[in-house]
Amino acid sequence: MWCWMSLLKGIVDCYMRKVSGLGEHCDRCLRTERWGGSVVLMVVDAAFTSIGLNYFTAVVPKVEEFSQKFVETGTVKNLRALAEADLDVLRKVWRNSRSWVAAKGVAAVFKLIGLATF
């Protein structure tokens, strides 16, 4: 098995070298530096990304719009608020209900286990 893992790592590393800044971007994401460290925005980003639209032309502008309309105004300041947010209100920013069900579901799990203050 180790041989296959080594081979896979070599393939991934080869592709990573071809895309300038990708490794740094991945490292920042893993250190939760994406979206200024906002867990709410990272959850929303992941939910929007999950439907396969172009990240930079579709997802990023809509996460920024969500941030401006909900996070920066204090309407959705943490995962608890996201879990409890009205779906119809959220859909004014992003119409795909599946994405919101995913985001609210993740937020609800964090709320359930007592970590929704992020």
At 83 the pLDDT is: 96
pLDDT value at 93 more than 90: yes
At 112 the pLDDT is: 86
For the residues 63-70, what does the mean pLDDT come to? 97
Type of residue numbered 73: T
pLDDT value at 48 more than 60: yes
Please give the C-alpha separations between residue 67 and each of 20, 38, 72, 80, 96, in angstroms, as whole numbers: 27, 10, 6, 16, 17
Q: What percent of the chain has pLDDT over 90?
A: 54
Question: What residues does each domain of the chain span?
Answer: 1-31, 35-118
pLDDT value at 33 more than 90: no
SS3 string, the chain, reads: CHHHHHHHHHHHHHHHHHCCCHHHHHHHHHCCCHHHHCHHHHHHHHHHHCCCCCHHHHHHHHHHHHHHHHHCCCCCCCHHHHHHCCHHHHCCCCCCHHHHHHHHHHHHHHHHCCCCCC
